Structure 1
Amino acid sequence: MMGSVLEDVDNPKRRLGRLKRVLRRVALGISAAGVLCAVVFWLLWTTFPFPQEKLQRWPSSPVVLDARGRTMLRVVGADEQWRQPVPISEISPWLARATIAVEDSRFYRHRGVDVAAVVRAIGQNLLSRQVVSGASTLTMQICRMMDDRPRTLRAKAVESFRALQLERLTTKDRILELYLNVAPYGGNIRGVEAAARIYFGKGANDLCLAEAALIAGLPQSPSRYRPDRHPTSAKQRQAVVLKRMLAEDMISRAQFDAALAEPILRANVHTVPRATHAAWLALRLRPGGGRTTIDLDIQSEVERLVRDHVGQLPADSQVAVVVIDITASAVRAMVGSVDPADPMHGQVNGALAPRSPGSALKPFIYAAAFELRRLNAQSRIDDSAISRAGWSPENFDRQFRGAITVAQALQMSLNIPAIRTAEGVGLARCCAVIHACGVHLPRDAAGRGGLAVAVGAVETNLLDLTNAYATLGRGGIFKEPSLFVDADIRGVRALSEDTCRCINDILSCRRRPAAGREDIPEGQPAWFMWKTGTSSGRRDAWAVGHNYRYAVGVWVGRFRGTGRVEYVGGKSAEPLLARILTCGLLSNSIEPPEAPLLPVRQPLALSGQTAEELRITAPEDGSEFACLGQAATVAYSANRQATLTWFLNDRLIESNTGRLAVSTGRYTLRCVSDEGHSASVSFAVVSIP
């Protein structure tokens, strides 16, 4: 009896002891499990480091912008997505706040996984008996998009693990920047910059509160909330975002009301390229795109003037225009063809096509003589018939005027005085001046073209030629034309400032009226200079000039190269050039300084005739040589001892030894002097049976 009582008294103590032992075991088990989990977590952490390279896998969509940041051309990236990554500093603060408010309000307080949000989501899902909340942080969403996993519990665990790793690797601002650059915003639109430009025609940095709230609400269901397809749903979602921002004290009640009342105004975003040829050229030079020097205001005005002008030209005519900012050496406008959408000719960029410039090179021929002080504007030069190695050039009007001034010869674009000048100065020197000013002539242009180079018997393109006139407008400083605002442009002196002032004055609109601008009285504002050119066969009509602010070049012709009687520089190209240089956006009302009269130290001869024309004395024209072995030896010579450049079948003879070893066949041997004179003979080498 007594033992039972004592046993009952001890039972609570025994039960308490057993409970303590159980609790100790549980604690030890939990500790052991915790240690085991920590070890496993550490092993996973070290075995599976965060794949940082995957953060770089999202390709950018190349975008070409004008100088003011307006879109000229955009194309999808390699993954067929629109994506334009930008740093967080170039994203509107409203957009960052709106995204945090609606997607991850505790973003700056958690370490990648928001435990409180997870607990809340579990409770909501259990009560609703369906998934109504996911508790994914911005960091977790980045990790999901990085691997593009399906939404399963296992995937959620992996995302959480990767999110913890990512938070240790970088800053919160960098994580926010990553999210804003890769999140989906409807269709194949990725990132806020692409969304802002496609939906509102502006950069992400320029979004107002209402626009930022609308874009921030898209990632939850991009297809359902797209403002271009479902504006009502987008507006409702915008209201949800604004309410979250108000609840998080990110905006005031007044800002909330104003943003909510603001209508959704989508910009008239251009779906076709603007400044098409310049845009595609920029993309070819920089496949990733970039900000160009093109000014779309100037481009639009030039395109309008081209459309007005082309109606006055023969059917099927093409027009190309280049506008260069002289000070910045920046291409401000480029028109490559009349209609870039034309399936036959639209893709041809006439501004880069090699064509014969006609008389447009003559200013640089005279500039070479001015630099040597062999001529000045008032020097007398002979305009009478000449013959050079069987070539008898003529002026455009087939008339000769005798002794005239250099200024008159250049203003009237006479061929004979220009040829005489090139002959007297030396064609090699003239070509060097042309090249130094920016015209990239073909290799050995002097040898291949001879004196005909002075009248355009070489090929160049409109961009180079316009840039050469920009050199004249820059006082003789050559700069490469730039198409990107970040280009490093440096100047090199090509001509003296006095020479340029003289050439500019001779070709000034104060000295002669411009076709198409006869309504501008002499001495009035809108000063400019220009020179025209017409290629052989009237296949190309040119007009190029500058007004000290801009250099402008105009080409008119047909891409297939057929000529028209109307394709004369002064008729087809000059009127358009004059309208461009005097339009409001480009005109210059400042009168240039008076040109000096250059001293002449060693004047060129009036006639420029040579004592004896260049001719090849051996071999004789039409002669034949016997080939007894592998090759025949042919001696060659000319009637001059001066340095000559020799060509065999239009190939340069590198070593001028006076002897050729040639196999059987027919050959043309040609020599060219430094002055541009040339002579040629033909001969044959035959085998002996």
Structure 2
Amino acid sequence: MLKWLTRLFLFGVFLALSGVIAVFVLYQQIKPELPDVSTLRDVRLETPMRIFSQDGELISQYGEQRRHPISVTQMPPQLIDAFLATEDARFYEHRGIDPIGISRAAAVWLTTGEKRQGASTITQQVARNFFLSREKTVIRKIKEIFIALHIESLLSKDEILELYLNKIPLGHRSHGVAAAAQVYYGKDVGELTLAEMAMIAGLPKGPSIFNPISNPRRAAERRAIVLGRMLDTGKISRTQYDEAMAAPVAARYHGAEITLDAPYLAEMAHQFALSMFGEEAYTRGLNVYTTVQSDEQKAANAALIDGLLAYDLRHGYRGPVASLWQGNAWSMAQIEQHLEQQPSYWPLEPAVVTAVAERSATLIIKDRGEAQLDWDGIKWARRYLSDTRQGNALRQAKEALSPGDQIWVRPRGEHWVLAQQPEINGALVALEPSSGAVTALVGGFNFTLNKFNRAQQAARQMGSNIKPFIYSAALDNGFTLASMINDAPINHWDAGSGNSWKPRNSPNVYDGPIRIREALARSKNVVSIRLLRDTGIPVAMQRLNAFGFDTAGIPATESLALGSPSATPLQMATGYAALANGGRRVTPFVVARIEDTQGRVLYQAEPSAVPVISEENAFLISQALNSAIWGGSSNGRRWNGTGWRAGRALQRQDIAGKTGTTNDSRDAWFSGFTPARVATAWVGFDDFGRPLGRTAHNPNLGSDQVAGGEFGGSTALPIWVDYMKVALKDYPEQQRPVPEHLVTATIDTGSGLLSHDKGMTEYFVEGTEPRRYGRPGTQQQFGGTSITDELF
């Protein structure tokens, strides 16, 4: 008997040694194919590129995978317990492999021939997820075991668990528990309930099969298994188990946790990062910090949208989106089902009219239920006839609305207002004048409706926004702010075409001899043409080029003085920035810095500025543009500048700006600045040939309404004002210091010559101030050159 036991023991030893030798030989054979697991210490998880405002608000996210890596210490203990109870209950006890689980899987394979996935510890899953494919083969399983053993010798249990919980795919492009918490529940992991944690912990077995969004029944069954295992292992109490089991399956898809709406700017930042890092930008976890402040961007969004909707409102109501029924009304369920399929375009929400009273209407609004539309929200909606004609003012709600109408509404305080998608569009862009950093940018009414970025891409005729640059060239070529120019009609015969050119002022009023300061402030067209003639078209075009405007291909004609060249709103704001900052052309930029996932700075913006005009020239033009806001007097007569609405609204003396309107009012501009901010607002139709039209007074809307033609001062300027109210709130009024080489003189406002009386104080470059006193019939002498020819 002893002999047989000895032989049996020796046979066992032999088998054990043979197994060890076999494993050693197998290891040596596949060793060259095993990856270097030490790379896990420096692993870079594929994470999306995220775009932030300067103050940390998330603007957008780009990349196929949703992942937000977090440390294991940031994960709730119950969430970890849920995963361990389901995926690897002995995780903290084994050394990377679970012999019991492997034996069970082997037995199944030997008896059934099925190669089922199973017996993999969390460490093995890390090995597979980082280094291997998901094919079910014996050799892959053996490699997985060897890699798992290596990982256990290199990393701590917490490090392994952290890799696993950040790497694992959990459906809907979410990878890792933090991303899954956001995608399914719109929460941080620390805010999840036990039921939600168990739901996420049940996903690794089959992210599509047990998905709580697409398959809530199967998801609830899987959640029950997870909770049961947590109860069996003592991780939760019976009370917790019962409460979690009773919780509804409330998951729904949540997009990226966008906290600031700036899609046009986000796309600019996205393209910049892509140009620097290529396709890697989508997986490196880049954090791109833009130059915008969230409060300014929100103000810009609201200002442009309000301005475009205000234009649309005064031009009349174009009718409902659709008429859903004529006779029998739809049920509430039918209406709600229909509205669920309709898009929303902030701040517009789809709604259906269910009843109309004399001066009110009852609505069902998407996701908000029943609401009332009172008379104040309806009375504007006289009929739209054309861009220049509107119907009669409403007397009853039924003149605009009928039951069954699908309409748009927008909130106003606690009430709702009838609205419509505007056909007009626009842009607003703002810069820090000293650096060129973009502080706010909106490229249109709604990015979802149309992704064309008008702030950056829409080159439109400049109109009178060009005049400060024409005047800038004139001041460097023999003129001062006090120079007198004849504001009189021009009739220029063109022998080549056989036609005469008769440019007109807008309005068609002429004041005779007028100072340059007043002419620019009041946007006198014929004065701008006369200055261009005297300065010379080549000189003016060189000045435009210096400010950053492309004049290549522009006909060298006198129409240049009236704004025939085209520019984008961003180019326009950049040009005006040079007037605001003392004569330096800045390069606008939207990305302040780019960091990697560890916070290391990979890119830092370096603002650049190039002097293009003298500080004195910039100051003088800014002075004239300040008069465009605050007006002035001539010969005892008060006059308003074209931007007077900005002064009345903001009540700041440090504002300067210029309106701009092109032929037939196809484009409306306002560009203006303080030492702290420069901004340009533009309004127009995407159809270049469609004028902005005009409106008649609406008796229902009171006295404070825009009526008549659509111009820069009435259409674009209010948008600029609404933005600046927020942008300038933290910047005290600041007067610019007078440059060293400027002097002042008291001049007569009627002649521009020196005044014996009070007159007004004007600035001059040293040596250009007038030398004579004004008397009746006196002609001004400037630098020894008579400008009598400009008076008559």
TM-score normalised by the chain length of structure 1: 0.66
Question: Alpha-carbon deviation of 1:563?
Answer: 3.8
Question: Alpha-carbon deviation of 1:575?
Answer: 2.7
Q: Could you say what secondary structure the match of 1:449 adopts?
A: coil
Partner residue in 2 for 1:222: 207
Partner residue in 2 for 1:578: 721
Q: How does 1:417-432 map to 2 (within 5 A)?
A: 417-422=527-532, 424-425=534-535, 427-428=537-538, 430-432=540-542
Partner residue in 1 for 2:364: none
Partner residue in 2 for 1:599: 765
Partner residue in 1 for 2:605: 488
Question: Alpha-carbon deviation of 1:548?
Answer: 4.0
Give 1:140's aligned amino acid.
Answer: Q
Distance 2:540 2:424 in 1: 31
Q: 1:260 to 1:405 in 2, by over 3 A?
A: farther
Pair 1:190 & 2:171 matched: no
Q: 1:510 to 1:341 in 2, by over 3 A?
A: closer
Match of 1:364 among 462, 465, 469: 469
Pair 1:380 & 2:484 matched: yes
520-529 vs 565-574, which moves further = 520-529
Distance 2:531 2:233 in 1: 83
Partner residue in 2 for 1:511: 630
Distance 2:6 2:96 in 1: 38
Partner residue in 2 for 1:614: none
Question: Alpha-carbon deviation of 1:241?
Answer: 7.4
Q: Could you say what secondary structure the match of 1:189 adopts?
A: coil
Pair 1:349 & 2:331 matched: no
144-153 vs 181-190, which moves further = 144-153
Partner residue in 1 for 2:97: 113
Q: How does 1:399-548 map to 2 (within 5 A)?
A: 399-422=509-532, 424-425=534-535, 427-428=537-538, 430-437=540-547, 439-443=548-552, 448-486=555-593, 488-494=605-611, 495-508=613-626, 511-512=630-631, 518=645, 521=648, 524-525=651-652, 528-548=655-675
Distance 1:324 1:254 in 2: 57
Identical-residue share of aligned pairs (%): 26
Pair 1:324 & 2:324 matched: no
Partner residue in 1 for 2:381: none
Give 1:394's aligned amino acid.
Answer: P
Q: Could you say what secondary structure the match of 1:310 adopts?
A: helix
Match of 2:732 among 573, 590, 613: 590
Q: 1:215 to 1:479 in 2, by over 3 A?
A: farther
Give 1:41's aligned amino acid.
Answer: Y
Q: 1:573 to 1:231 in 2, by over 3 A?
A: same
Distance 1:275 1:169 in 2: 45
Check conservation: 2:681, 2:716, Cα contact below 8 A: yes
Match of 2:76 among 70, 76, 94: 94
Give 1:149's aligned amino acid.
Answer: R
Pair 1:396 & 2:396 matched: no
Question: Alpha-carbon deviation of 1:44?
Answer: 0.5
Check conservation: 2:213, 2:252, Cα contact below 8 A: no
Pair 1:138 & 2:122 matched: yes
Distance 1:569 1:298 in 2: 20
Distance 2:653 2:200 in 1: 48
Partner residue in 2 for 1:3: none
Provide, for residues 83-120 of structure 1, a one-character-per-residue CA deviation record: whole Å limited to 9, x for no partner: 13445469944388567645456657765434576579
Question: Alpha-carbon deviation of 1:488?
Answer: 0.8
Distance 1:200 1:514 in 2: 55
Check conservation: 1:480, 1:489, Cα contact below 8 A: no
Question: Alpha-carbon deviation of 1:465?
Answer: 0.9
Ranges in structure 1 where 5+ consecutive residues have no aligned partner? 1-14, 78-82, 611-689
Q: Could you say what secondary structure the match of 2:630 adopts?
A: coil
Give 1:277's aligned amino acid.
Answer: Y
Partner residue in 1 for 2:23: 37
Check conservation: 2:429, 2:569, Cα contact below 8 A: no
Partner residue in 2 for 1:666: none
Distance 1:432 1:460 in 2: 16
Ranges in structure 2 where 5+ consecutive residues have no aligned partner? 275-280, 283-287, 316-385, 388-421, 495-499, 594-603, 632-639, 694-708, 739-762, 769-781
Question: Alpha-carbon deviation of 1:239?
Answer: 11
Give 1:408's aligned amino acid.
Answer: E
Give 2:734's aligned amino acid.
Answer: P
Give 2:310's aligned amino acid.
Answer: H
Question: Alpha-carbon deviation of 1:320?
Answer: 1.6
Larger radius of gyration: 1
Pair 1:277 & 2:264 matched: yes
Question: Alpha-carbon deviation of 1:413?
Answer: 1.4
390-399 vs 31-40, which moves further = 390-399
Question: Alpha-carbon deviation of 1:574?
Answer: 2.2
Question: Alpha-carbon deviation of 1:57?
Answer: 12
Check conservation: 1:98, 1:213, Cα contact below 8 A: no
Give 2:25's aligned amino acid.
Answer: V
Q: 1:184 to 1:85 in 2, by over 3 A?
A: closer
Check conservation: 1:224, 1:230, Cα contact below 8 A: yes
Q: Could you say what secondary structure the match of 2:733 adopts?
A: coil
Q: 1:589 to 1:473 in 2, by over 3 A?
A: same
Question: Alpha-carbon deviation of 1:561?
Answer: 1.2
Check conservation: 1:547, 1:587, Cα contact below 8 A: no
Check conservation: 1:92, 1:207, Cα contact below 8 A: no
Q: 1:518 to 1:467 in 2, by over 3 A?
A: closer
Distance 2:244 2:267 in 1: 39
Q: 1:184 to 1:522 in 2, by over 3 A?
A: closer
Question: Alpha-carbon deviation of 1:544?
Answer: 1.6
Provide, for residues 299-330 of structure 1, a one-character-per-residue CA deviation record: whole Å limited to 9, x for no partner: 54235423432323575742222232416644
Check conservation: 2:629, 2:644, Cα contact below 8 A: no
Provide, for residues 272-295 of structure 1, a one-character-per-residue CA deviation record: whole Å limited to 9, x for no partner: 995443344444444546554453
Q: 1:304 to 1:599 in 2, by over 3 A?
A: same
Q: How does 1:169-184 map to 2 (within 5 A)?
A: 178-184=163-169
Check conservation: 1:530, 1:546, Cα contact below 8 A: yes
Distance 2:72 2:767 in 1: 61
Distance 2:571 2:228 in 1: 55
Q: Could you say what secondary structure the match of 2:461 adopts?
A: coil
Partner residue in 1 for 2:66: 84
**Pairwise CA RMSD:** 5.3
Partner residue in 2 for 1:672: none
313-322 vs 265-274, which moves further = 265-274
Provide, for residues 191-232 of structure 1, a one-character-per-residue CA deviation record: whole Å limited to 9, x for no partner: 445434433446x68866867776455434535765556789
